[in-house]
């Protein structure tokens, strides 16, 4: 099975269901006829989009072109050239020998011993399902080849450190971080998104090469084509800025008529870039500028993607963004600012998060113009977040605890049971106001009255708080014998 020639990808196009090889998939994306990738999971989709964008950009650079609208033969030739002396073996899902590369699988020294074996792609990729709450483990007894492909891309380009021998990627702030994907789009359709991303990635390349990373413009792109003993590291100086890394030593093999994945230990990360804290020029990864130790790649906390984080990204508040988070001059119409991330815990998945903000066309020039132009709206956005915190902690919380504790003379903020219920209420309150936040903010007219805008936002918060309080009164347990006192004490 070879990605260059065999129809390993299931796709829905404008003509229906098809199975295609990788070069044809890239042609179809350029023609904007792909509606859906059938075998992909949502948490894998952005990783595969980024992979295809780096891949397309690398081929175009090598061939001196700029348009992602090309034929399958063009892409097939370009992908083969990227593999260098590894040739077509670099695109085989399973190779004849472990001393040859296979797709996203580096060559291994003879005599290497696997540390683990898995038989389904969902057991392979970065989704740690110890809690088994995102996706059921071993969901596919007879997985399709494209499921193995998506799992390999997800594992090798998005994983962090997962214990001894399981190293993480370079495009991440430390092995215990995560890799958010942040992108501005003018269309969520797969083809249009990919074309636009490739075009802006080529612009981003110039910026990266002008910075002191030390990349080689003719360097290695397909990192998996080079042998890896688990100790040797690659410096940025041997890599192309569009390098596609592999962070784990994994090999697929047929054993007793079925495909399995064998993992091998690595004592060091494949890319030697630990001191850069993930700031390696990745076009999708915002750089935080507020840390005491200098710039570092954004890591999303266990809270997930919040309205405040999206606000800061939108207004470039303490972030350095790239061409992938900006529009091109000829774009017209509304835009979407999107972010996704899989937050990991200690051997578990703490959740997959995604957020999409629709930016009306009337606000595009303001948001992506000068800082002076957008500052009034940015100031309103900050105040609105502050008001949400005040409403939650100084108004809603005492009211909820008063109900739950039966209107006591002295509220107990350390009461375990009522605090557990309050945590649930606070989560709901944030969820509801977050849904209203950007529609309110981006509906403010040019030259808006700040006091009137704040008043309207506080009214929205008040209505949501009353809705939460009503739910507490109707559904949550409290001292029924003190009901009247609890209600009147609020």
Last-in-domain residue among 284, 313, 335: 284
Same-domain pairing of 248 and 384: no
User: 378 lies in a domain?
Assistant: yes
Same-domain pairing of 114 and 228: yes
pLDDT higher at 341 or 474 = 341
Q: For position 479, what pLDDT does the model report? A: 53
Same-domain pairing of 272 and 384: no
Same-domain pairing of 131 and 31: yes
User: 457 lies in a domain?
Assistant: yes
The residues near 13 (Cβ < 8 Å, ≥ 6 apart) are 28, 33, 34, 35
- Please say whether the beta carbons of 179 and 171 come within 8 A: yes
Last-in-domain residue among 284, 310, 335: 284
User: 39 lies in a domain?
Assistant: yes
Confidence of residue 263 (pLDDT cuts 50, 70, 90): very high
Same-domain pairing of 27 and 132: yes
Kind plus residue range of the DSSP H or E element containing 204? helix 190-209
Last-in-domain residue among 255, 284, 313: 284
Distance CA 123, CA 155 (A): 10
pLDDT higher at 138 or 225 = 225
Same-domain pairing of 157 and 49: yes
Same-domain pairing of 203 and 58: yes
Same-domain pairing of 398 and 276: no
Q: For position 483, what pLDDT does the model report? A: 47
User: 463 lies in a domain?
Assistant: yes
Q: Which residues pair with 264 in a beta bridge?
A: 249
Residue 130 has pLDDT above 60, yes or no: no
Share of residues in the chain with pLDDT > 70 (%)? 90
Predicted confidence (pLDDT) per residue in 418-464, tens digit = 678 888 999 999 999 999 999 999 999 999 999 999 999 999 999 99
Confidence of residue 220 (pLDDT cuts 50, 70, 90): very high
Name which of 249, 239, 79 is nearest 152 in CA terms: 249
Give the number of domains in the chain: 2
Q: For position 488, what pLDDT does the model report? A: 45
Same-domain pairing of 384 and 276: no
Angle at 209 between CA 206 and CA 211, to 5 degrees: 110
Note down the domain range covering 429.
Answer: 371-489
pTM of the model: 0.92
Same-domain pairing of 163 and 52: yes
- Please say whether the beta carbons of 184 and 334 come within 8 A: no
Confidence of residue 274 (pLDDT cuts 50, 70, 90): very high
User: 264 lies in a domain?
Assistant: yes
Distance CA 35, CA 187 (A): 12
Share of residues in the chain with pLDDT > 90 (%)? 80
User: 358 lies in a domain?
Assistant: no
Q: For position 131, what pLDDT does the model report? A: 43
């Amino acid at each position: 099975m070879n990605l260059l020639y065999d129809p390993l990808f299931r796709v829905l196009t404008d003509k229906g269901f098809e199975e295609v090889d990788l070069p044809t998939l890239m042609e179809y994306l350029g023609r904007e006829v792909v509606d859906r990738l059938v075998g992909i999971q949502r948490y894998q989709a952005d990783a595969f989009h980024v992979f295809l964008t780096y891949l397309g950009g690398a081929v175009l650079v090598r061939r001196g072109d700029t348009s992602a609208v090309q034929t399958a033969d063009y892409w097939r030739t370009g992908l083969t050239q990227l593999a260098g002396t590894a040739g077509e073996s670099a695109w085989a899902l399973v190779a004849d020998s472990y001393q040859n590369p296979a797709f996203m699988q580096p060559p291994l020294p003879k005599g290497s011993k696997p540390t683990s074996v898995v038989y389904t792609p969902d057991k392979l990729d970065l989704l740690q399902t110890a809690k088994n709450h995102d996706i059921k483990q071993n969901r596919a007894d007879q997985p399709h080849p494209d499921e193995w492909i998506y799992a390999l891309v997800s594992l090798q380009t998005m994983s962090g450190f997962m214990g001894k021998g399981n190293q993480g990627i370079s495009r991440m702030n430390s092995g215990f971080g995560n890799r958010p994907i942040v992108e501005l789009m003018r269309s969520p359709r797969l083809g249009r998104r990919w074309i636009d991303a490739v075009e802006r990635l080529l612009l981003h390349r110039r910026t990266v090469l002008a910075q002191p990373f030390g990349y080689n413009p003719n360097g290695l792109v397909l990192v998996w084509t080079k042998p890896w003993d688990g100790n040797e590291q690659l410096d940025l100086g041997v890599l192309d800025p569009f390098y596609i890394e592999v962070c784990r030593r994994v090999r697929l093999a047929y054993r007793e008529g079925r495909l399995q994945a064998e993992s091998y230990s690595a004592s060091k990360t494949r890319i030697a870039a630990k001191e850069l804290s993930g700031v390696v020029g990745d076009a999708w990864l915002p750089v935080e500028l507020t840390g005491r130790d200098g710039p570092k790649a954004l890591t999303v906390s266990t809270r997930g993607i919040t309205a405040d984080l999206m606000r800061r990204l939108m207004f470039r508040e303490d972030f350095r963004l790239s061409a992938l988070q900006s529009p091109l001059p000829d774009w017209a119409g509304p835009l979407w600012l999107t972010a996704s991330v899989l937050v990991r815990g200690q051997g578990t998945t703490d959740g997959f998060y995604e957020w999409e903000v629709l930016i009306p066309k009337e606000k595009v020039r303001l948001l992506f113009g000068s800082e002076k132009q957008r500052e009034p709206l940015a100031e309103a956005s900050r105040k609105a977040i502050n008001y949400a915190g005040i409403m939650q902690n100084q108004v809603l919380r005492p009211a909820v605890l008063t109900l739950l504790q039966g209107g006591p003379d002295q509220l107990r903020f350390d009461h375990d049971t009522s605090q557990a219920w309050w945590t649930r209420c606070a989560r709901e309150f944030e969820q509801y106001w977050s849904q209203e936040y950007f529609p309110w903010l981006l509906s403010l007219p040019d030259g808006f009255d700040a006091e009137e805008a704040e008043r309207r936002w506080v009214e929205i918060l008040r209505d949501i708080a009353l809705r939460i309080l009503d739910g507490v009164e109707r559904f949550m347990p409290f001292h029924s014998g003190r009901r009247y006192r609890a209600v009147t004490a609020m």
